[in-house]
Structure 1
Amino acid sequence: MKKYDYVLVGSGLYSGVFAYLARKKGKKCLVVEKRSHIGGNIYCEEKDGINVHSYGAHIFHTSNKEVWKFVNELVEFNRYTNSPVANYKGEIYNMPFNMNTFSKMWNVATPAEAKAKIEEQKASVKGEPKNLEEQAISLVGTDIYEKLVKGYTEKQWGRDCKELPAFIIKRLPVRFTYDNNYFNDLYQGIPMGGYNVIIEKLFEGCDMEFNVDYLENREHYDSLGEKTVYTGMIDAFYQYQLGKLEYRSLRFETETLDMENYQGVAVVNYTDRETPYTRIIEHKHFEFGTQPKTVITREYSVAWEEGMEPYYPVNDERNQELYKQYASLAEKESSVIFGGRLGEYKYYDMDKVIESAMKVAKQEFS
């Protein structure tokens, strides 16, 4: 008999939820983590009494009551509501596009006036949209596209909107109400005390090893556990034998400022092409902080290269096709569970990661 029931590769949210449910069933778990800390991309670092989201802003939101109940049993959530603003060359607009945005953009006051303006501008796209630019204009018109979509999207993908496929933007949230709440979900908030509180609870009772690359020591770790829960890159697991999947990555510049309040909101998107970063995060606003100092992070979207942290799967046809081939190899594995953003090559919100891990755990322990 092996020493552990499960060897969990990676210590992000998927692994954490699985480990927590496994421990409840009396299973022994070993967690193998490449980094020097647990938590994956939701890890927070404390600076001047502020919980800094080390790998980009994470705002918890869900309409799944079971998931909301699960996370609230671990930690209490605050009432943070995501209401980002867009900065276009110094002009400030509310996000998502709503009556506050339209009123500022066109000096209109009613939903009917805003709708008429958008309809008039949408007419410039004839027939089926051929690329992302045409798709976006067919959804929100030219003014909103030019000021609030184009530059931001091009920075995110590192390509011109005319070169990007239309299906990347299936919809753009447009609201004809004066409501700045970004999400439509029933529940949202930030864990009080930051995300580390949740992560520590999820991995309680597990053995942990840090600064270890599972793929370089695969035989050793496979010999320790009955099953492996793998949350790393699926193509790396198979030594890229079918080819490499593509990702976008992020680069962060974080600094502490000797002032109480830098931008008055947690998230400001910079939507012109000339500003090199996509957004600035001011972390204290996630938890209504009143500290004398503030910490900001500039976020840059960059092309991913091997050795960098992969953040976003590139959701185009070539990559989806390649992933399907890897997924069919994965289905044949009887002692490996693939999960999470990298294991399933999927852009996942946190609640969906939890949902997915709960579903797999239920099948596993039923």
Structure 2
Amino acid sequence: MYDWLIVGAGFAGSVLAERLATERNERVLLIDRRNHIGGNAYDRYDDDGLLIHQYGPHIFHTNSKQIFDHLSRFTEWRFYEHRVLAEVDGMQVPIPINLDTVNKLYGLNLTSEQLQDWFAQRAEKIGEIRTSEDVVVSTVGRELYEKFFRGYTRKQWGLDPSELDKSVTSRVPTRTNRDDRYFTDEFQFMPRYGYTRMFEKMVSHPNIHVMTQTDYGDVKNVVPHRRVIYTGPIDEYFNYQFGKLPYRSLRFEHVTLDKPWHQSVGVVNYPQTQDYTRVTEYKHLTGQEHAKTALTYEYPSAEGDPYYPIPKPENQELFKKYERLALATPDVWFVGRLATYRYYNMDQIVGQALATFRRINEALPVGADTSSVKVMSGSTALLS
């Protein structure tokens, strides 16, 4: 008899498995339908010995010392500040858009103060900011929107920015200084020996039994367990009874080149050309020294594993139907991106998992009966 059956061995499931095993001394069965742990953050060594991210680049960054300190129990870190270039009009320029981006693109020599005025002259007045298009054109104008955002967003989401919630492009700031870092968080690091090593240490507790290549449906009625933590797609848990929640997927092409370097930064975006959205070169991220270099080309897709919940109002309405079912389901906790149909960064998932553990601890004394106890991490009021 397991105290917990945890479905999904990514950040949400693995963090909770470790906390329940360590702090509550409870027995956990942690399963994943893939043949590995680590979820989308899984990394591995290719045939040439290069460390690559199987599901595209995962860059750890956070402003939370609590989250950083928690993960530091399971890994040493390598300092890394992520930089991205966008290939626009035949040249590679920094993204997010900054002072150097505009000066190089237009052959100007503006100062930061002048760039503020330059943006203001081009920004369109929008009454209510609702869509991703509204966010950009109201900040930097339509020309930069067309160059940097419209084509990239159409490839990434299969939709025009005017059809997507404002949250999509709000994630990418616009700067008037020369800061070319993609993120500005206080803590910007990569696990020194990779994410998979970190996950392996996280779930190495003797109270945790890990089973990969295992589907929830294969074990839920076979393996005795008291409670469930579910981090998979919430619509799948309820057999799609209201219909499928829309997701955007990705296809990855991994390539090894017989030369030490291919590009000057970790990621180059392609908003105007190519079928792929971006190219990642992992040695920038990992610091690995090697005579060869490994790249990943990302091709967005309508089919495949669910990666990105599509932020449209009608999709949120559909999710709310499933959320109501989840809140009424005893002894099951829904945690993570797929279970709460929201895009989270890795640190946010860790924070959500730690907050869920605290609420479980408060609501459920060790050894207590779980009947009538319900916590859903996806509810806005419960998020940390």
TM-score range relative to shorter protein = over 0.9
Farther-moved stretch of structure 1 (241-250 vs 282-291)? 282-291
1:345 is matched with 341
| Separation in 2, partners of 1:45, 1:271 | 28
Please give the per-residue CA displacement for 1:88-113, whole angstroms capped at 9, x wherever unaligned.
25311102111111221231330122
Show the 5 A alignment for 1:91-240. Answer: 91-106=91-106, 107-123=108-124, 125=125, 127-128=127-128, 132-166=132-166, 168-170=168-170, 172-204=172-204, 205=206, 206-221=208-223, 224-240=224-240
**Against the structure 1 CA distance between its residues 131 and 353, is the aligned structure 2 distance closer, same or farther, given a 3 Å change threshold?**
closer
Contact 1:132 1:169 in 2 (8 A): yes
Please give the per-residue CA displacement for 1:78-132, whole angstroms capped at 9, x wherever unaligned.
1110111111253111021111112212313301221222111114x56446754
Contact 2:62 2:188 in 1 (8 A): yes
1:355 is matched with 351
Unmatched segments (≥5 aa) in structure 2: 363-384
**Against the structure 1 CA distance between its residues 126 and 318, is the aligned structure 2 distance closer, same or farther, given a 3 Å change threshold?**
closer
SS in 2 for 1:251: strand
| Separation in 1, partners of 2:171, 2:336 | 24
State the one-letter code of the partner of 1:37: H
| Separation in 2, partners of 1:28, 1:126 | 55
Alignment equivalent of 1:310, drawn from 281, 302, 306: 306
State the one-letter code of the partner of 1:157: W
Show the 5 A alignment for 1:211-360. Answer: 211-221=213-223, 224-272=224-272, 274-304=273-303, 308-360=304-356
Contact 2:20 2:26 in 1 (8 A): yes
Please give the per-residue CA displacement for 1:2-30, whole angstroms capped at 9, x wherever unaligned.
x1111111110101100111111211111
Question: Alpha carbon RMSD of aligned pairs, Å?
Answer: 1.7
Alignment equivalent of 2:12, drawn from 8, 14, 17: 14
State the one-letter code of the partner of 2:300: S
| Separation in 2, partners of 1:53, 1:4 | 32
| Separation in 1, partners of 2:134, 2:175 | 20
Instruction: Report % sequence identity.
Output: 36
| Separation in 2, partners of 1:36, 1:95 | 35
| Separation in 2, partners of 1:179, 1:92 | 16
2:32 is matched with 33
SS in 1 for 2:188: strand
Deviation at residue 321 of structure 1 after TM alignment: 0.9
SS in 2 for 1:330: helix
**Against the structure 1 CA distance between its residues 130 and 225, is the aligned structure 2 distance closer, same or farther, given a 3 Å change threshold?**
closer
Contact 1:132 1:168 in 2 (8 A): yes
User: TM-score normalized by structure 1?
Assistant: 0.93
2:76 paired with 1:80: no
| Separation in 1, partners of 2:172, 2:140 | 7
SS in 1 for 2:138: helix
User: TM-score normalized by structure 2?
Assistant: 0.89
Unmatched segments (≥5 aa) in structure 1: none
| Separation in 1, partners of 2:129, 2:334 | 36
Contact 1:139 1:172 in 2 (8 A): no
State the one-letter code of the partner of 1:284: K
| Separation in 2, partners of 1:33, 1:179 | 40
Deviation at residue 169 of structure 1 after TM alignment: 3.4
Give the total of aligned pairs. Answer: 357
| Separation in 2, partners of 1:218, 1:130 | 42
Contact 2:260 2:293 in 1 (8 A): yes
Please give the per-residue CA displacement for 1:28-66, whole angstroms capped at 9, x wherever unaligned.
111121011111101001023322010111010111110
Show the 5 A alignment for 1:45-56. Answer: 45-47=44-46, 48-56=48-56
**Against the structure 1 CA distance between its residues 9 and 268, is the aligned structure 2 distance closer, same or farther, given a 3 Å change threshold?**
same
**Against the structure 1 CA distance between its residues 131 and 35, is the aligned structure 2 distance closer, same or farther, given a 3 Å change threshold?**
closer
